[in-house]
Amino acid sequence: MKRLNSQLQQDGAPLELILLIRTLLAGCKEIAFRVSQGALAGVLGSTLSENVQGETQKKLDVISNQILKDTLRESGYVKAISSEEEDDVVPCNPEGNYLVSFDPLDGSSNTEINSLIGTIFSIAHAPQWMEPSDPSAFLQPGTQMVAAGYVLYGPSTMLAMTTGRGTHIYTLDKTHGGFLLTQPNVSIPAQTTEYAINASNQRHWEPAMQAYVADLLAGSDGPREKNFNMRWVAAMVGDIHRVLCRGGIFMYPYDKRDPDKPGKLRLLYEANPMAFLIEQAGGLAHTGSGRIMEVMPTEIHQRVPVLLGSKDEIEACLSYYKAHS
């Protein structure tokens, strides 16, 4: 099987980017070990503090964030970091050529039930005229990413990543500690009968999403004339991994509870990197009003509605938005 380095070289990634990715993944392998120890290492449970998102931090959130922060700051390749768990950007090397954004432990509430969790990341070029502490350096559309991916801490530790030359999936070989290519050039089926959405929020959705999901639930007796299955992991990495492996549609749409938070998912740490992966695998990534990767960020913790997955089903979903506009 092909090693990660070989695939990155084949895809034309520059040497410094390859070295940065290897450094980032070294931190992820450390997180994978901590996760695997669980209760044996006393890393489960919550802390007494909240992050900038207003969410109670899990112990593994804090540990994972610190591991990645320390690893990337010491690498020398990174000018600054933005993390879901940090209030502000973290300055690193003023001469660094890259910016890294990450959600250190997506789905961390799943640690209590030993279910799927993961790390989501994206990498972009650092504007050399900006100071490392300047958050505006991160206010770039997703089209400017040079790499993105996630590491899924499941029965096996897997990496899904793109550098703009297709989406590839790797599996961590724990016998030698390297990621080996196991699914090259992932292609998402255009059609699907699976969808993922947090149905408990149904009463807060816009009319377009209400109508779309109602027709999915109507199955073969409804206007879609086929039966759909709902799957929900409660960790974006798990749901997106399923979409990459066998197709489907993942949705976290706009809801009306808080006008200042048009979606739950963060643009920099979750929506953009997953959109890059999905698009490079032949799927579509949309907010309901436009392409996710074309959204111009206004602040580092910005949230957006998210529709990701199989091309034909995303287009079917968007037709409801058009009809209700």
Query: Is residue 76 annotated as involved in ligand binding?
Result: no
Q: Which of 105, 111, 84 is nearest to 31 (CA)?
A: 105
> Distance between CA atoms of 68 and 110, rounded to whole angstroms?
20
- The ranges of the chain annotated as CATH 3.30.540.10 are 4-183
Q: What is the pLDDT along the chain (325 residues), one digit of tens a residue?
A: 899 999 999 999 999 999 999 999 999 999 999 999 888 877 777 765 666 665 667 789 999 999 999 999 999 999 999 999 999 999 999 999 999 999 999 998 888 889 999 999 999 999 989 999 999 999 999 999 999 999 999 999 999 999 999 999 999 999 889 999 999 999 999 999 999 999 999 999 999 999 999 999 999 999 999 999 999 999 999 999 999 999 999 999 998 888 777 889 999 999 999 999 999 999 999 999 999 999 999 999 999 999 999 999 999 999 999 999 8
Ligand-binding annotation for 198, yes or no, is yes
- What SS3 class is residue 239? helix
Q: Is 109 annotated as a binding residue?
A: yes
For 7, phi and psi rounded to 5 degrees? -65, -40
Residue range 194-324 in CATH 1.10.260.40: no
Q: Is 105 annotated as a binding residue?
A: yes
Domain limits, CATH 3.40.190.80, in the chain: 194-324
Condensed to tens digits (0 to 9), the pLDDT of residues 174-228 reads 988 999 999 999 999 999 999 999 999 999 999 999 999 999 999 999 999 999 9
Tell whether residue 103 is among the known ligand binding residues: yes
> Hey, CA dihedral for 11, 17, 22, 27, is it positive or negative?
negative
Q: Which two tokens mark 322?
A: 């058009």
DSSP secondary structure string, 136-169? GGG---GGGEEEEEEEEESSSEEEEEESSS-EEE
Whole-angstrom CA distances from 289 to 28, 203, 253, 306 are 34, 20, 11, 10
Nearest CA among 282, 278, 281 for reference residue 293: 278
In this structure, the number of other CB atoms found within 10 A of the CB of residue 324 comes to 13
What top-level class would CATH report for the domain 4-183? alpha beta
